[in-house]
Amino acid sequence: MARKKIREYDSKSLLKQNLKRLANIELPICSAQVTKSTDFTELLDKEKWLSARRLVVKPDMLFGKRGKSGLVALNLDFAEVIQFVKKRLGQEIEIEGCKGPITTFIIEPFIPHKEEYYFAIDSERLGCTISFSECGGVEIEEYWDKVNSIFLPTDSPLTNETIAPLIAGLPLEIHGKISDFMKGVFAVFQDLDFSFIEMNPFTLVDGEPYPLDMRGEVDENAGFKNEEKWGNLEFPHPFGRIPSPEESFIHDLNEKTSASLKFTLLNPKGRIWNMIAGGGASLIYTDTVGDLGYAAELGNYTEYGGPSEEEMLKLARVILDCATANPDGRKRALLVGGNIANLTDVGATFDGIIRALKEKKSELREANIHIYVRRGGPNYQTGLAKMQAVGEELGVPVEVYGPEAIMTGICNRAIEGI
């Protein structure tokens, strides 16, 4: 959903292909991607420049400050690159508190350079902010006051005149090249539904603009307009989020349906588990458990909207599997909550949950699960009555509340319970 970060390798490939098409600018960049499935002989066969040039290699995994973390190697030959990669592939690292293995590298020609320019385009509600600085590079944050920005309203074109104040400090003879490049990148940005592009830095090679480092974000909602232009574009998980098999399963399920299904595992040993309907309400339930001081016991974040009975069954199974996985004799709580629905048939949604509960009867009892239900909306009376009845049938304690109860009241009940 919405904005997705893409790999540097993809950002650069998309830029190279489309800059040619939209602005007739031939970008002389080359890049190659390496993962654990890469066969270096095949790669060399496809990318001949790898053996002909000195190289740079760095992780391509949506995190920054790679140079500062010692993860960028400069001026190597291909054999040294392979050695560098093999030593680090799969290695666990920590970046700003997030831990994870390195899985993907990008290899590029080593470009000795003088100029380091900063260039970024950021999509905002009323237009785009376009930023430029002569002092780009790894120290950009220290020179943040040297970054110039202009705001380009949505319906205005990017012209030499609008760019002029950004690049006023550059030698006059390169104004034309830099302006054309910026206009070209902006055209790609718009045509391919990017929401963010940053080059830090780009330089000049033989007088031609040449991006050394690049970050990109696209608007996933525009995927249907860009099927051909994007190709098989990958949306990697943010660094440090290695999805559990359960999370991947729900993620895949979500991709295939018009319903909304989200599941994030927070603490497999937690004793408070969420099964919450609605984007707004799911957030508030999770907040409330935190506000009450029980964040550490929270097993998961879950949100669902408009699922079919089958989809609800699958989501509920996953949550119940996790919630009952580590029984420790102590009481646990399952929050089946939600706001007062506008149009979801509450009775029907609960049918999927009830099927999952019946399947996991013994697990629920063994894990000492107590179920707290709160929901309103179409047909909620039927839904609540069914939940009450299934509790009696399975011998699992169930408390039900309707629209008259405060939405997050069951969080208190659950916490008192455990």
Partner 1 sequence: MATGQLFSRTTQALFYNYKQLPIQRMLDFDFLCGRETPSVAGIINPGAEGFQKLFFGQEEIAIPVHSTIEAACAAHPTADVFINFASFRSAAASSMAALKQPTIRVVAIIAEGVPESDTKQLITYARSNNKVVIGPATVGGIQAGAFKIGDTAGTIDNIIQCKLYRPGSVGFVSKSGGMSNEMYNTIARVTDGIYEGIAIGGDVFPGSTLSDHVLRFNNIPQVKMMVVLGELGGRDEYSLVEALKQGKVNKPVVAWVSGTCARLFKSEVQFGHAGAKSGGEMESAQAKNQALREAGAVVPTSYEAFEAVIKETFEKLVEEGKITPVKEVKPPQIPEDLNTAIKSGKVRAPTHIISTISDDRGEEPCYAGVPMSSIVEQGYGVGDVISLLWFKRSLPRYCTHFIEICIMLCADHGPCVSGAHNTIVTARAGKDLVSSLVSGLLTIGPRFGGAIDDAARYFKDAYDRGLTPYEFVEGMKKKGIRVPGIGHRIKRGDNRDKRVELLQRFAHTHFPSVKYMEYAVQVETYTLSKANNLVLNVDGAIGSLFLDLLAGSGMFSKQEIDEIVEIGYLNGLFVLARSIGLIGHTFDQKRLKQPLYRHPWEDVLYTK
The residue ranges that bind partner 1 (CB under 8 A) are: 1-3, 97-98, 123-127, 153-155, 190, 193, 195, 219, 221-222, 224-225, 238-241, 260, 262, 264, 266, 277-284, 286-291, 295, 298, 301, 303, 305, 310, 338-343, 376-379, 403, 406-408, 412
- Smallest gap from Cβ 212 to partner 1, in A, equals 25
Residue nearer to partner 1 on the CB measure, 143 or 235: 235
**Smallest distance from partner 1 to CB 262, Å:** 7
Least separation in angstroms between CB 311 and partner 1: 13
In this complex, which beta carbon is closest to partner 1, that of residue 45 or of residue 310?
A: 310
| Least CB distance to partner 1 at residue 263 (A) | 12
Measured from the CB atom, the residue of 67 and 402 that comes closer to partner 1 is 402
**Listed residue (123, 105, 151, 103) closest to 3, CA to CA:** 123
Residues in Cβ contact with 77 at an 8 Å cutoff, skipping those fewer than 6 apart: 54, 55
| Contact predicate 118/135, CB 8 Å | yes
Do 221 and 2 meet the contact criterion of CB atoms below 8 Å apart? yes
Give the rounded distance of the alpha carbon of 350 from its chain centre. 30
**Which whole-number Å values give the CA distances from 112 to 30, 71, 80, 160, 204, in the listed order?**
15, 18, 18, 29, 10
Minimum Å gap between C-beta 105 and partner 1 is: 20
Minimum gap (Å) between residue 237 Cβ and partner 1: 8
Q: Which is nearer to partner 1, 249 or 301 (CB)?
A: 301
Nearest to 338, CA basis, from 396, 281, 290:
281
Give the 3-state secondary structure of residue 215. Answer: strand
Q: Compute the distance between CA of residue 358 and CA of residue 394 in angstroms, rounded to an integer.
A: 7
Partner residues linked to 203 by β-bridges: 210
User: Do 332 and 272 meet the contact criterion of CB atoms below 8 Å apart?
Assistant: yes
Nearer to partner 1, 3 or 175 (CB): 3
DSSP assignment letter at 62 = S
Q: Which is nearer to partner 1, 79 or 98 (CB)?
A: 98
| Residue (48 or 225) nearer to partner 1, CB | 225
Q: Please report where in the chains the tokens 């910026």 appear, as a residue.
A: 182
Q: Which of 25, 30, 39, 36 is nearest to 9 (CA)?
A: 30
CB of 316 to partner 1, least distance (A): 17
